[in-house]
Amino acid sequence: MSEIDSRKIRLIIQLRQAGITNTEVLSAIERTPRDLFIPPHFETHAYEDQAVPIGLGQTISQPYIVATMTDVLDVEKSHSVLEIGTGSGYQAAVLSRLCRRVYTIERHRPLLELAEKRFNELKLRNITSLAADGMKGWPNVAGNENSFDRIIVTASVDGEPPVALMAQLKIGGIMVIPVGGQGQNQILRKYKKESEDIYGVQNLMPVRFVPLLPDVPRNNSYSSAELEELTA
């Protein structure tokens, strides 16, 4: 057994001990090489239960948070999932093993280019990615309304989730999103869309995420090669 395999097994055991019992979620995490999504100088931390910087002020979430958010989404094989905040691509890669299709939006184009390279390397063909303003949701999908079975947001909102995202969630669909501004206590929250106007809301656990921001920033002028140098 390789060192990476043994570290991965220890992580899966840790997640089980922390209360993650969904075998499909654990299997998806076990099959997704987190070391591929970690900057080279942090590779030794790839299978530790901690967040890691990935450049441009962004992080890859700790595995327990990834597992919890994935578990709470209650994803099925037939589902179409929208992710806001591709980051390294790790969360999208895990989800891709559980659902029909993942649509993922990242506002930092260099991060998205690196994530797309990883998706290709892993031959994950059911992920569609886009550099755009995630607060506006996915453009031109089924008229932009009731398009997704599940939505996962990997950045925090100060107040209620963006209206565009709520509109793109199917009736009966679930959204998982961190709520709380910078410097505030954040809570991971689950929304279930009961009707066009009624949502069931459940507070899950304290979390800490970077803020969800609008627009596409100017640092998209970085190439993916330059970003790799920034994070090396």
Per residue in 39-90, pLDDT tens? 998 989 999 999 999 998 899 999 999 999 999 999 999 999 999 999 999 9
Q: What is the Cα–Cα distance from 48 to 85, expressed in whole angstroms?
A: 22
Catalytically active residues, by annotation: 61
CB 154 within 8 A of CB 87: yes
CB 11 within 8 A of CB 35: no
For residue 134, the model assigns a pLDDT of: 96
For residue 8, what are the domain limits? 3-231
- Number of domains observed in the structure of the chain: 1
Q: What is the Cα–Cα distance from 100 to 178, expressed in whole angstroms?
A: 24
Which residues contact residue 156 at a Cβ distance below 8 angstroms, ignoring those fewer than 6 apart? 177, 178, 179, 180, 181, 182, 186, 207, 209, 210, 211, 212
pLDDT category at 227 given cuts 50, 70, 90 is low
And the tokens for 5? 């395999």
Q: What percent of the chain has pLDDT over 90?
A: 80
Please give the mean pLDDT across all residues of the chain. Answer: 91
Residue 220 belongs to domain with CATH number: 3.40.50.150
**What is the reported pTM?**
0.92
Count of CB atoms situated within 10 Å of the CB of 3: 9
CB 197 within 8 A of CB 5: no
CA 156 and chain centroid, separation? 12
Question: Quick one: which of 58, 101, 64 has its CA closest to 83?
Answer: 101
pLDDT category at 1 given cuts 50, 70, 90 is low
Q: Which amino acid is at 29?
A: I
